[in-house]
């Protein structure tokens, strides 16, 4: 089940700050404690209707995190790019491009 934060993000069509919307959990699950945005506060039914989209958002965020970890240090990526430039392989045959493609292929988004 998707979390409330992602359902609200899908409802608004954007990320929100916790100054705008305050969530709380008293033991029975998260709920909206304060709503300080121009858009009307959604009903539970409206948020539940966004379950599928919110789940996709959560899954894609996990994939982004996995990709970020596998990409490695930005310095190492720049070193690979430099070596590809020197070798005149700043295309899909370069080592950097092959590494990034392999990571994206292994961690495809929904």
Tens of pLDDT, residue by residue over 27-76, are 999 999 999 999 999 999 999 999 999 999 999 999 999 999 999 999 99
Please tell me the predicted confidence (pLDDT) of residue 32. Answer: 97
Q: What is the dihedral of CA 71, 76, 79, 83, to 10 degrees?
A: -60
Rounded to an integer, what distance in angstroms lies between the CA atom of residue 32 and that of residue 103?
37
Q: What angle do CA 22, 28, 30 make, to 5 degrees?
A: 25
User: Model-level pTM greater than 0.85?
Assistant: no
With a CB cutoff of 8 Å and minimum separation 6, the contacts of 77 are 71, 96
Give the list of residues 6+ apart from residue 47 with CB closer than 8 angstroms, or none. 4, 7, 8, 11
Domains of the chain (ranges; CATH) run 1-70 (3.30.56.60), 72-110 (no CATH)
């Amino acid at each position: 089940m998707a979390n409330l934060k992602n359902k609200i993000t899908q409802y608004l069509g954007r990320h929100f700050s916790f100054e705008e919307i305050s969530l709380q959990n008293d033991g029975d699950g998260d709920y909206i404690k304060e709503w300080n945005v121009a858009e009307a506060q959604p009903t539970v039914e409206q948020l539940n209707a966004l379950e599928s989209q919110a789940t996709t958002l959560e899954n894609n965020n996990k994939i982004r995190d996995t990709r970020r970890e596998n990409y490695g240090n930005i310095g190492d990526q720049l070193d690979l790019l430099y070596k590809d430039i020197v070798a005149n392989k700043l295309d899909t045959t370069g080592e950097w491009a092959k590494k990034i493609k392999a990571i994206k292929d292994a961690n495809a988004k929904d």
